[in-house]
Amino acid sequence: MLTEVHTPHDLKRLNPAELATLSAEIRAFLVASVSRTGGHLGPNLGVVELTIALHRVFDSPHDSILWDTGHQAYVHKLLTGRHDFSRLRQSGGLSGYPSRAESDHDLIENSHASTALSYADGIARARQILGVRDRSVVAVVGDGALTGGMAWEALNNIASATDRPVVIVLNDNGRSYAPTVGGLARHLSSLRDHREPAAGPSPAHPGVFAQLGLHYIGPVDGHDTAAVEEALTTARALGAPVVVHCVTRKGCGYPLAESDDRDCFHGIGVIDSVTGQLIKNATAPSWTSLFGDELVQIGAERPDVVAITAAMLQPVGLQPFAEKFPDRVIDVGIAEQHAATCAAGLAAEGLHPVVAVYATFLNRAFDQVLMDVALHRAGVTFVLDRAGITGDDGPSHNGMWDMSVLHVVPGLRIAAPRDGSRLRALLREAVAVADVPTVVRFPKGSAPEDIETLEERDGVDVIGRFGSGSDLLLVAVGVMAGTCLDTARQLAGHGIGVTVVDPRWVRPVNPALLELARQHRTVATVEDNVKVSGVGAAFAQAVSDNGIDTPCLTFGIPPDFLAVASRSQLLAEVGLTAGALVTELRRLVTGSLTTQ
């Protein structure tokens, strides 16, 4: 059946038996395809019937269907004609999230949670202003995404006008990455436990949605296509804001995923689809696992250290800490803003919170880091996983903004470890700081082999000397150390003397680094961060402010949204490889030496 579905209109001619066959084929396709490429498997297996019903009731793209967070849109892609999953999340292939470049059926490309309801409110308001009456606005939001404060800001506004219809499809599977937490989870559980499914708006549910002034339909079995269709048809006819509460099972139809308590099948690498075992290409430990292991050791030594996660306990490496110290882990849900300010409160009472998030998600809490943590000189450590280019999850997941954004925060210190040993050491140094916030950032994937320190200069590690003389000081930021060493070796072959250093703490600028700059004819910084306002820019400013006339060259990521590709491909595209750096530095350094 799947090969006969190229547009949503093809669904409308299918009978119930054919729809059941289609659902089974979609699940088999997803398991077979995603196990070969990696991607989000569990969330998509859980929304098969729900997505079919959506596209049978509504007329996409005339009607707008918005996905929050978007990682559960694989079925939507299939039903809108995108059947080639062979290069999912790879260069030239399908994005792992909705993509405007792929299809008119993808109106928004959000992959940060809790945003779709605000989009929906804006679209509905615009259509009301423009007098458009024949186009529905539908937002599919998970119970996990509803733990984000922005979703409630949107609900407050959506409920403010009964004549501005928005259909909110609540995909309630009791989980985000992990089980949904907090009072909302308890409330949704009480609604799920109501034994009389409601096909129409029901006053029998005096729940939070009704109290806000929203119609409520449910609970509906999200794996019963006919029941979901009936509920959505009723919702569309209301012409008012309405919540359709669909209860689903994450990983439905794939026993390994359905029984997955730790959500290992939420986002997977390449796996054996029969056993579910990961097919590993690397044996080196990941940055995430090294962090998690060291934090457990720190926790055993320091009872004041607590950990905070925003609904991502396992992905950010906090599962071992939670198992060892269950009373010292706080899951705040998808609420990075609350995580930061809650951490400031914990610090005010003498604890040292470690807030572990993906680097891309710290953007969401900038105001709280600035005004609630830094202003109060709170001893909070933010650990940023997947910093720099991540690649396969697309532009919204690249953690390439953090050092630029955080450089304006007074007092805050940033550490960028080059290898696993430095990660362990810098994490310990960070949690030892009690009077300002600290940040430790590291990339996605396996940690490289440790790079030896040749000489330590007041906190700056000299990690390489190549050639003769002091033509170039090459400042390697974090994981770019290996690339900088390769670059220096090649430059030495062209007669350029290079010293390679790792500052370890990239903010504030270490005075020892400034002294090294005085001793060289040219300085170049290399960072896997946006070069605008990044480490290089701050260092160049410090050089200028201290009256040092050494020219400073800055290499980093351009301020752009990078396409889906692997980390190595994107680093090559932006010129952060040894070959590209050698070419550019030979031209610039040779020119500088000639003018001198």
Q: Annotated binding residues for Mg(2+), as ranges?
A: 143, 173
Other Cβ atoms less than 10 A from the Cβ of 233: the count is: 14
SS3 408: coil
d(CA 328, CA 304): 9
Annotated binding-site residue numbers for thiamine diphosphate: 71, 111-113, 144-145, 173, 254, 336
Strand arrangement of the beta sheet that strand 438-441 belongs to? 329-331, 305-309, 352-358, 381-385, 438-441, 413-415, 505-507
Residues 6+ apart with CB under 8 A from 129: none
Per-position DSSP letters for 223-275, written without gaps between them: T-HHHHHHHHHHHHHH-S-EEEEEE--TTTT-HHHHT-TT-TTTEE-SB-TTT
Torsion angle (degrees, nearest 10) of CA 323, 327, 329, 331 = 110
d(CA 114, CA 433): 33
Annotated binding-site residue numbers: 71, 111-113, 143-145, 173, 254, 336
Cα 248 off chain centre by: 24
The 3 state secondary structure assigned to 577-594 is CHHHHHHHHHHHHHHHHH
Instruction: Choose the catalytic residue: 77, 82, 175, 250.
Output: 250
Instruction: Choose the catalytic residue: 89, 164, 364, 507.
Output: 364
d(CA 375, CA 318): 27
Among the listed residues 8, 42, 105, the one whose alpha carbon sits nearest the alpha carbon of residue 252: 42
Active site residue 336: yes
Per-position DSSP letters for 528-565, written without gaps between them: EEESTTSHHHHHHHHHHHTT----EEEEEE-SS-PPS-
Torsion angle (degrees, nearest 10) of CA 310, 312, 315, 319 = 100
Instruction: Choose the catalytic residue: 336, 422, 444, 527.
Output: 336
Query: Whose structure tokens read 């390769």?
Result: 486
Residue 95 pairs in a beta bridge with none
Q: Which residues have a catalytic role annotated?
A: 250, 336, 364
